[in-house]
Chains A and B, each alone.
Chain A
Amino acid sequence: MTVQVSRRGLLKGIGVGIAGGTLGALGFGDLQPAAAAAVRPFKLAQMRETRNTCPYCSVSCGVILYSLGDRSKNAKSAVMHVEGDPDHPVNRGTLCPKGSSLLDFIRSETRTKYPMYRAAGASEFKRVSWDFALDRIATLLKEDRDRNFVAKNGDLTVNRWVTTGFLGASATTNETAWVTYKTVRSMGALVFDNQARV
């Protein structure tokens, strides 16, 4: 293949005319075009590729997420395959036993899907609406802040709130971190940490 193509284009190309790559390496290089046409097209070639980053350790390997669905209306996209990004300068296409199984994280049966609420003393969670959960949490936060906010210590203005704690998540994005920082600090909260502390 002499023209420069995208990785996706290359994969598509393999389906119709073997020029190299995986199938070539397997010894199919001598096949005539007619025989090549009979080879089943590579399934991934029909998928959308999205560049992402492995969410586990801090090597932050580049990954390519292959998903079905072209983002048209009524086409719900779903990741079907994950592989290392060969363009990524650190991992160069490789993934470890954790990164290789990211698909099972995405599709985990124990994912949370709906807001759940456990009342005081209850022995199980009940599904609730977002509005119920958010209204109740906002009320609890405000009640506690209003009750326990410390504006002054003697003559000193201290404006702190130390009876509700907040924990940030070090697998969320920097942008999530910033919006979390803004909202938590605007309330004067000091009991505030993330995984960096442990």
Chain B
Amino acid sequence: MTNLWMDIKHADVITVMGGNAAEAHPCGFKWVVEAKAHNNAKLIVIDPRFTRTASVADLYCPIRQGTDIAFLSGVAKYLIDNDKLQHRYLAAYTNAAFVVKEGYAFDEGLFSGYSEDKRDYDKTTWDYEIGPDGYAVVDETMQHPRSVMQLLKKHISIYTPEMVERICGSPKETFLKVCQMIAETSSPEKTMTSLYALGWTQHAKGSQNIRSMCIVQTLLGNIGMLGGGMNALRGHSNIQGLTDIGLMSNLIPGYLNIPIEKEPTYSDYIAKRQFKPLRPGQMSYWQNYNKFFVSFQKAMWGDKAQKENDWAYDYLPKLDVPTYDIVRGFELAKQGKMSGYVIQGFNPLLSFPNRAKMTEAFSKMKFVVVMDPLQTETARFWENHGEYNDVDPSKIQTEVFELPTTLFAEEEGSLSNSSRWLQWHWQAQEAPGECRSDIEIMSALFLRIRAMYKRDGGAFPDPIVNLKWDYAISHSPTAIELARELNGYTLAPVTDASGTTIPAGKQVDGFAQLKDDGTTACGCWIYSGCYTEKGNMMARRDNTDPGDRGIAPNWAFAWPANRRVLYNRASCDPEGKPWSEKKKLIEWNGKQWVGFDVPDYGATVAPDKGMGPFILNQEGVARLWTRGLMRDGPFPTHYEPFESPVANAAFPKIKGSPAARIFKGDLADLGTSAEFPYAATSYRLTEHFHSWTKHSKINAILQPEMFVEISEQLAKEKGIAKGDWVRVWSKRGSLKAKAVVTKRIKPLVCDGKTVHVVGLPQHWGFIGETKKGWHPNTLTPVVGDANTETPEFKAWLVNIEPTSPPADRQRTV
């Protein structure tokens, strides 16, 4: 979230699209209700299903899953055509006036530089024209034909209300009402918040779904504002933290990158990351990249990371492909190229696409290690559970370890929520049996491996035997010891920008004190400030909220720098005065920036210096057009899902997202709409959390068994009655479930064709307190988003028919 949960109360319009907050984030959704009750806010819900979020909406608009870009590009077109823009914001705080270099083009759904063989782009033409002064060329009038504004207008010109209706199945009149309501927030006094979740990310163009709304919010001047922003309602309690700390193939904590092969030396690596400003006077904060990187290397390898050895740059692995993400990992496993998987608190047998492929992949591995407080299907992929897991254990030669771990009530530490708050929690009970914490298990494994390398040698032992490991009890580092490393500390006396000298061996106050000369260490620069010399800032419990801003600045710690609303400099006009007094966050008092939140800006940089509010960007402004930063294009474009019930109405020749990676076997596993006519999607119920709460008795009682939601019309066509058993199948698999025939799903008409939506909630498996059942991922295709490789779980194709119950559910009379 750019903003935070309580901040939703300040919104004038709330758009929930690509999510269902009322059911998936109920206690966060209260702030939507608060905004409706006390701020006269209007709630718009755009979803294929009439969800519980929709049930309290002021306006519900149906949409076919996988067509969000067409819908939102249509909204952007409406805003431009009807002059519903925040003009000063657009001119001063976005790249609308930047001129793009010659050669950039978009034709028939493809950008310049496309290679069909590589399914990838040569992105050299996707950049600004650079002037003789070395800076990007800007045309203040925005009239230059290659200005971002003119290119945007041209790019979205096809998304007329009629085209939106053809692609999305959203009635034109309802779509226009959505546009009108959203357009109200072009006023500097009014804001819209965008709440979204996996309904946007789980598509082959998921990142571009989000980009589409970023464009809308930027045109409206809603970023950086109280009650505005782009708010990802994230899935797990610490999915934010795990991403922040970089537990992904290609990341180093704090959104730094693992080097690639073509960066063989530290100087190659850092040369690409100088991030010089693209306009005069811009901060371009990533210029400090080397400070964060060197401090990270010091946190990892201490004295062994020195200037002379390029800060132990060789200790880091180098990527030969963009990522070894889960899709690639299990593709390699299926090919027999993986020896094993070590899995903490994760149930990939159910959570990853194409169950049959997952079972095959697991069965080909030599070993699988699962650490979890619960018995998972993954740990039992080899165990026969009748038709729910129809495997022959004697044919599976995988060694499997199930290691019992503590759960939240049995450990202390911090979790980072969607609002980027690091909140500390404490232990309330001892764990049962012989459970150990994940920290103890990882430490025990590491210490054993290190001992073997010290004793016997082996492949490149250096980064292992030299890993900094100076915890008081080496097999059980405490959460506090680890938190202190994440915060960062001085290794020698350090003088910061204010001239204060911090002695060696002290916790730093924040990332501004980090150095690139080896005098500081820091595990995760954006977490710097979480555990300072003042103590554990994450454990703070002062909930006072000056000015009733919905910020509570002294509750826990928010990254970065305890800032609660990102880009908050943009809440003021270029002169430093809040756009809206009612929505004041910070302001310029003639000497410095002051207010309710920590300014996202140089604290004493005067407004007349012309520094843009988006200080991380080299441009200093928000990007309507993203240069070469996204793999699949600098503007979002409508592409159909890889499995779609209709052809692409805008670009008929294109199937799927042209730059999304898909492996050969997975491509062959895609079905057609002739064979599989119905548009399937998966989702959560409010009573369950993934495959986790099926282990909790009350939740298992509330929603005891798998079901499939279909419309009354489809039920009638197929001869299915409420409560009947149905078989749902895709090119990749088949499952059985009870039918729920509902008015919540209605057929859509797309380009003259009736499209039926089939909904599959995703909470059942073969272990736990619920009845046994199948996970929708038994059926889902294996193709990921072009930028993130997040699988396309939200839009795929199935067929459906009435069937007999599974063997264990047949009633004997």
Contacts and interface: CB of A to CB of B under 8 A. Distances in A.
Interface of A: 48, 50-62, 65, 67, 69, 76-79, 84, 87-92, 94-102, 104-106, 108-125, 130, 133-142, 144-146, 148-149, 151, 153, 155-198
Given A111-B374, A114-B433, A179-B443, A89 B555 contact: yes
A119 B399 contact: yes
Contacts of A135: 448
Nearest to B694: A110
A98 B242 contact: no
B444 interface: yes
Contact of B408 (A55, A88, A133, A158): A55
B709 to A, nearest CB: 19
B339 A61 contact: no
B432 interface: yes
A110 B693 contact: no
A112 B402 CA distance: 8
Contacts of A148: 339
B271 interface: no
Contacts of A67: 428-429
A41 to B, nearest CB: 21
Contacts of B429: 65, 67, 69, 76-79, 106
Nearest to A138: B448
Nearest to A76: B430
A139 B237 CA distance: 33
Interface in B1-59: 5-6, 24-28, 30-31
B699 A88 contact: no
Contact of B418 (A59, A172, A192): A59
Contact of B367 (A101, A125, A140, A171): A140
B318 interface: yes
Nearest to B395: A121
Contacts of B698: 97, 100-101, 104
Interface string B459-501: 1100110011000000001010011011000000000000000
A51 B422 contact: no
Given A58-B236, A105-B695, A160-B317, 13 more contacts: A57-B235, A58-B237, A59-B25, A79-B429, A111-B375, A112-B373, A136-B399, A162-B324, A163-B338, A169-B344, A172-B238, A172-B438, A198-B791
Contacts of A124: 383
Give the one of A54, A113, A186 with max B CB within 10 A: A186
Give the one of B31, B401, B552 with max A CB within 10 A: B401
Given A50-B426, A114-B434, A165-B338, A171 B345 contact: yes
Nearest to A95: B27
A37 B352 CA distance: 58
Contact of A176 (B437, B459, B689, B692): B437
17 contacts: A65-B409, A67-B429, A90-B419, A110-B768, A112-B375, A121-B395, A138-B445, A159-B318, A164-B342, A167-B348, A169-B242, A171-B236, A174-B241, A191-B324, A191-B332, A194-B346, A195-B236
Contacts of B414: 173-175
Nearest to B698: A101
Given A59-B25, A194-B247, A197-B789, A170 B366 contact: no
Contact of A96 (B26, B234, B452): B26
Nearest to B372: A112
A110 B434 contact: no
Interface in B86-141: none
Interface in B124-173: none
A145 B300 contact: no
B319 A160 contact: yes
B393 interface: yes
A168 B555 CA distance: 27
Provide the main secondary structure of the chain A interface: mixed
B483 A174 contact: yes
Contact of A164 (B242, B341, B486, B689): B341
Contacts of B402: 112, 115-118, 125
A159 B317 contact: yes
Interface string B526-537: 010000000000
Contacts of B246: 181
A196 B318 contact: no
Contacts of B332: 162, 191
B337 A174 contact: no
Q: Which 10 A-B pairs have the closest CB atoms?
A: A169-B345, A113-B433, A173-B413, A60-B417, A112-B404, A149-B459, A96-B26, A138-B448, A50-B428, A160-B317
A175 B237 contact: no
B596 interface: no
Given A177-B247, A197-B326, A106 B409 contact: yes
Contact of A140 (B324, B340, B408): B340
A118 B396 CA distance: 11
A167 B486 contact: no
Given A123-B394, A195-B236, A175 B479 contact: yes
Contacts of B463: 159, 185-188
A194 B237 CA distance: 13
A191 B329 contact: yes
B374 A193 contact: no
Interface in B381-408: 382-384, 393-405, 407-408
A193 B242 CA distance: 9
Contacts of B552: 89
Contacts of A100: 698
Nearest to B382: A118
B257 interface: no
B215 to A, nearest CB: 24
Nearest to A157: B314
Given A58-B236, A178-B485, A111 B696 contact: no
A159 to B, nearest CB: 5
B443 A193 contact: no
B232 to A, nearest CB: 9
Give the one of A91, A105, A183, A188 with max B CB within 10 A: A105
Give the one of B202, B235, B315, B429 with max A CB within 10 A: B429
A178 to B, nearest CB: 5
Contact of A188 (B233, B242, B460): B460
Give the one of A79, A88, A98 with max B CB within 10 A: A98
A175 B244 CA distance: 12
A170 B789 contact: no
Contacts of A115: 401-404, 434
B604 interface: no
A121 B460 contact: no
A192 B237 contact: no
A99 B699 CA distance: 10
Given A58-B418, A60-B423, A88-B543, A104 B325 contact: no
A27 B402 CA distance: 53
B300 A186 contact: yes
A54 B477 CA distance: 24
B228 interface: no
Contacts of B688: 98
A58 B4 CA distance: 11
A64 B233 CA distance: 23
B790 A197 contact: yes
Contacts of A108: 374, 695-697, 769
Contacts of B178: none
A171 B397 contact: no
Contacts of A141: 340, 342, 445, 449
Given A140-B367, A193-B326, A198-B352, A168 B459 contact: no
A97 B202 CA distance: 25
Contact of A105 (B329, B344, B696): B696
Nearest to B479: A175
A58 B693 contact: no
B403 to A, nearest CB: 5
Contacts of A172: 238, 242, 344-345, 438
A182 B768 CA distance: 33
Contacts of B453: 142
